[in-house]
C-alpha cells in the first residue's frame, strides 16, 4: 500500500482545504492523473497522483483542512490484491449463524472494497452536496443539482456529473447555432504549433530581462489577505498582470497588433493570461481593459478565465482580442522565462518563479524575495530603449502595490 499525502505546493504552504475528489475507491490511477482539487492561498489547485494502482480508501473528507504530508488517500500497487482474510471480523460483531450472509465473500479476482461513504440524502427541495466547481458550472448552465445523481463520496455531485448532464441531451437534440462546444485539444495544439512557427519565422524578437524586488509586494499581499477567505484572496499573479497592463498602457509600442499594413496600437490593454490546460496545451484568453480594473475585480475575472479555460468554455473575443500576453511560472517553476510572441501581438512578458536573493538596500545586504521579468518584443515596432522603460514601469508598479 502507498499513502498519497497532501503535497507541498509552495514554501509558505502549511495546509490545504480539500474541495473536490476526482476519484473514488476502486478507481485505477496512474502517475500524473488529477485526483483532487485543493484550495490554498494560491487558489484552487489540481493535485496530481504520483503513484500507480487502485484507490483503496479516501482518507480525507471534502471540506477538511489537511496539513502538508498528511494522508489524503491509500493506493494499492498494481498486481497487489487484498486477500479475503486481510480484513478480520470486528470484535464487537461475532458471527451470527442464524442470519444468512447478505453478500458472497470476495475472491482474489474481486478485491475487498472499502466501506463506501454513506450517501447524504437531501431533504425535499434541498440541493445535494456538490463540489464548488460543480455548483459554479451548474449555475452557469441552468442545471438543477437536485435532479443529478452524484458519483462523488457520499453522493456528492462532481464537475463531471454536471458536464455529463449537459452532454446527455446533445445526442438526441440537434446542436443549436448558439451552443458553444468545448475546446478541441488536437485542433488547439495544431493552432499553437502554427502560431509559434509563424512567430519565430516572421517576428524579429529581442529580449530584455530585469530582476525586480518583490518583498514590498509580498508583504502587502500577506497583510491584505490575512482577514480574507481563500476565495477572496489576491494572488501574486494578479499583481503581475496589473503591473504589466499599466506598463503597456504607458508604452504604446508594446500593446497592439502587427499585420500586413503595419502596427496598430490598441486603445485598451487586453491582457492575455497564459493558462496551462489539463491534458496538455496552453491558451491565453484576454482580460479586457486590464489596466482599468481594480485588483479585486481583476482577480475575480482571472479566476473565471482560468476555470472556463479548463472546461473549454472560452468566448471567441477572449481568444482573439489580446493585445499583450503575460505568462508566469508560478511558485515552483524556472527562475526566468523568455517566451515566444503570440502573433499578431508584438510583446509577451514572462515572470519566473519568485526567488530569495541577496539584495542591496542602502549600505546593507539583506535577503529579499525577487522575480526575474523577461520581455520578448517585436523589433519592427519597438527597440531596447522602449523595452527597458516598460520593464522599469513594471518594477515601479510592484513597489507600490497599494496603488494597483
User: CA-to-CA distance for 12 and 165, rounded, in angstroms?
Assistant: 39
pLDDT at 341 over 50: yes
Average pLDDT over residues 312-321: 73
Domain boundaries, the chain: 2-76, 132-171, 185-403
* Site of grid cell 471567441: 316
- φ and ψ of 347, to 5 deg: -160, 150
Checking if the pLDDT of 174 tops 50, the result is: no
Inform me whether the pLDDT recorded for 345 exceeds 70: yes
Q: Which of 133, 152, 150, 132 is nearest to 25 (CA)?
A: 152
What is the pLDDT averaged over residues 189-198?
79
Residue written as cell 437531501? 122
**Quick one: 132-171 is in which CATH superfamily?**
E3-binding domain (4.10.320.10)
* CB proximity list for 397: less than 8 A, separation 6 or greater: 242, 243, 246, 247, 403, 404
Calpha distance 147→91 (Å, rounded): 41
Please give the mean pLDDT across all residues of the chain. Answer: 80
**Burial of 225 by CB count in 10 Å (0-12 exposed, 13-18 middle, 19+ buried)?**
middle
Give the model's confidence band at 190: pLDDT under 50 very low, under 70 low, under 90 confident, else very high.
confident
| 114, pLDDT greater than 60 | no
CA distance linking residue 169 with residue 172, whole number of Å: 5
- Lowest mean pLDDT, pick from 40-49, 55-64, 150-159, 355-364: 40-49
Q: Which has more pLDDT, 275 or 128? A: 275
Find the DSSP H helices in 62-175.
Answer: 132-141, 159-167
Task: Provide the b/e sequence for 90-118 (b: ≥16 CB within 10 Å).
Answer: eeeeeeeeeeeeeeeebeeeebeeeeebe
To the question of domain 2-76 being in CATH 3.30.559.10, the answer is no
The reply to whether CATH 3.30.559.10 applies to domain 185-403 is yes
Cβ 87 vs Cβ 41: under 8 Å? no
Q: What pLDDT, on a 0 to 100 scale, did the predictor assign at position 349? A: 98
Please report, to the nearest 10 degrees, the dihedral formed by the alpha carbons of residues 73, 76, 82, 86 taken in order.
-50
pLDDT by residue (tens digit) across 279-290? 677 888 899 999
Confidence band for 256, pLDDT divided at 50, 70 and 90: very high
* Contact call for residues 215 and 361 (beta carbons, < 8 A): no
Q: Provide the terminal-to-terminal Cα distance of the chain, rounded to the nearest Å.
A: 50
Each residue's pLDDT tens digit, 259-272: 999 999 999 999 99
* Residue 246, CB-side half-sphere exposure with 13 Å CA sphere: 20
pLDDT the model gives residue 132: 59
The Cα–Cα gap between 70 and 254 comes to 47
CA distance 32 to 263: 43
Amino acid at each position: 500500500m502507498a499513502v498519497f499525502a497532501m503535497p507541498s505546493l509552495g514554501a509558505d504552504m502549511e495546509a490545504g482545504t480539500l474541495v473536490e475528489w476526482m476519484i473514488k475507491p476502486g478507481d485505477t490511477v496512474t502517475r500524473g492523473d488529477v485526483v483532487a482539487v485543493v484550495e490554498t492561498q494560491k487558489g484552487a489547485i489540481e493535485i496530481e497522483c504520483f503513484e500507480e494502482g487502485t484507490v483503496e480508501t479516501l482518507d480525507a473528507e471534502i471540506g477538511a483542512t489537511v496539513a502538508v504530508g498528511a494522508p489524503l488517500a491509500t493506493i494499492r500497487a498494481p498486481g497487489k490484491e487484498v486477500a479475503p482474510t486481510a480484513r478480520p471480523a470486528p470484535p464487537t460483531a461475532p458471527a451470527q449463524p442464524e442470519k444468512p450472509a447478505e453478500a458472497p465473500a470476495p475472491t482474489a479476482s474481486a478485491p475487498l472494497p472499502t466501506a463506501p461513504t454513506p450517501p447524504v440524502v437531501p431533504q425535499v427541495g434541498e440541493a445535494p452536496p456538490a463540489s464548488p466547481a460543480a455548483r459554479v458550472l451548474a449555475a452557469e448552465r441552468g442545471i438543477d443539482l437536485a435532479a443529478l445523481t452524484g458519483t462523488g463520496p457520499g453522493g456528492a455531485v462532481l464537475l463531471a456529473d454536471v458536464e455529463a448532464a449537459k452532454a446527455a441531451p446533445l445526442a438526441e437534440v440537434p446542436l443549436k447555432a448558439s451552443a458553444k462546444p468545448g475546446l478541441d485539444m488536437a485542433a488547439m495544439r495544431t493552432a499553437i504549433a502554427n502560431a509559434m512557427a509563424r512567430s519565430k519565422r516572421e517576428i524579429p524578437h529581442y529580449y530584455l530581462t530585469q530582476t525586480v524586488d518583490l518583498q514590498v509586494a509580498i508583504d502587502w499581499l500577506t497583510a491584505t489577505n490575512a482577514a480574507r477567505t481563500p476565495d477572496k484572496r489576491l494572488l501574486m499573479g494578479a499583481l503581475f498582470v496589473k503591473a504589466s497592463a499599466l506598463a503597456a498602457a504607458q508604452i504604446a509600442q508594446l500593446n497592439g497588433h502587427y499585420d500586413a499594413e503595419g502596427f496598430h496600437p490598441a486603445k485598451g490593454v487586453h491582457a492575455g493570461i497564459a493558462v496551462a490546460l489539463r491534458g496538455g496545451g496552453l491558451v491565453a484568453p484576454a482580460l479586457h481593459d486590464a489596466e482599468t480594473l481594480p485588483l479585486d475585480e481583476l482577480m475575480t475575472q482571472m479566476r473565471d478565465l482560468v476555470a472556463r479555460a479548463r472546461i473549454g468554455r472560452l468566448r471567441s473575443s477572449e481568444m482573439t482580442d489580446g493585445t499583450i500576453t503575460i505568462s508566469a511560472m508560478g511558485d515552483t517553476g524556472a527562475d526566468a522565462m523568455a517566451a515566444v510572441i503570440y502573433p499578431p501581438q508584438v510583446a509577451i512578458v514572462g515572470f519566473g518563479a519568485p526567488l530569495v536573493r541577496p539584495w542591496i538596500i542602502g549600505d546593507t545586504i539583506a535577503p529579499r524575495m525577487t522575480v526575474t521579468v523577461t520581455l520578448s518584443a517585436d523589433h519592427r515596432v519597438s527597440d531596447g530603449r522602449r523595452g527597458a522603460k516598460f520593464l522599469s514601469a513594471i518594477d515601479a508598479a510592484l513597489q507600490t502595490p497599494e496603488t494597483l
